[in-house]
Amino acid sequence: MIQIEPIKAFNDNYIWAIINADKKTIWVIDPGDANPVLEFCIHHDYQLVGILVTHHHYDHCGGVKLLREKFNITVYGPKHDSIHATHTVQDAEIIFLPECHLHFKILFIPGHTLEHVAFYCEEENLLFCGDTLFSAGCGRIFEGTPQQMYHSLTKLANLPDNTKIYCGHEYTLPNLKFAKLVEPDNSDIDDYITKVTHYRNEGQPSLPSMLGLEKKVNPFLRAAIPAVIESAEHRIGKPIYNTVEVFATIREWKNNT
């Protein structure tokens, strides 16, 4: 049976572990730090058999080199020297994790970085999306353009609503506070704030989220919604005539909030 658990790293990162409890094996996603992974394996008597990497930022791949040195493992990731991948992935490629009996489709989603990818498992409705899509938010645009980022988010939004969203950071509550600024009358945001606040007060992660919920509360997936358009127009004091500009306006707003 497959389980997915977060391994906490740094201040707010999650290194996701895909666990086969029967075989005592794990794959991990975005190990920015090797030590929490090693401690997790020792504590549970798990064997690390592979790594998936979404992009080259250090807090997502900084532990890969050490883990490769300690174990003879496969590392799937986009092309970037700092990732230390054994296998460079391509858009729409299908990879198979034999210990988990899962197939993942590679989704090329540039914007946050130019080579950013997501790993999507249709069999179990799982999406590991790094720093592109967060619960109630999205990543900053460091290397790409707003148009690229919006296209990438649209690509993810077209997945089934029951897709579970496993992103790289625990940013949900701050993101929801910004979402409330954009859509003050959105009751779905209010309900989600209550739910996430309870989880965090209990020391539990807010993730995974569900894509169907994100379409109701995440302003970066709602650039075509009249209330979001109105807020963006009010922010810059002029009409906006396309969704990419709406998205770019609220992303810049978030940058300065």
Q: Which of 55, 56, 84, 116 is catalytic?
A: 55
User: Is residue 60 annotated as a catalytic residue, yes or no?
Assistant: yes
Distances (CA, A) of 155 to 159, 194, 243: 7, 29, 14
- Which member of 56, 57, 80, 84 is catalytic? 57
Choosing from 33, 59, 80, 84, the catalytic residue is 59
Helix, strand, coil shares, percent, the chain, to 5: 40, 25, 35
2-11 contacts at long range (C-beta below 8 A, 24 or more positions apart): 2/100, 2/101, 2/102, 2/124, 4/126, 4/166, 4/208, 6/205, 6/207, 7/36, 7/37, 7/40, 8/36, 9/33, 9/36, 9/59, 10/59
Give catalytic status of residue 80 as yes or no: no
Catalytic annotation present for 59 = yes
Catalytic residue among 30, 56, 116, 131: 131
Q: Is 84 a catalytic residue?
A: no
- Is position 112 annotated as part of the catalytic site? yes
* Annotated catalytic residue, options 56, 60, 80, 116: 60
- State the catalytic residues: 55, 57, 59-60, 112, 131, 169
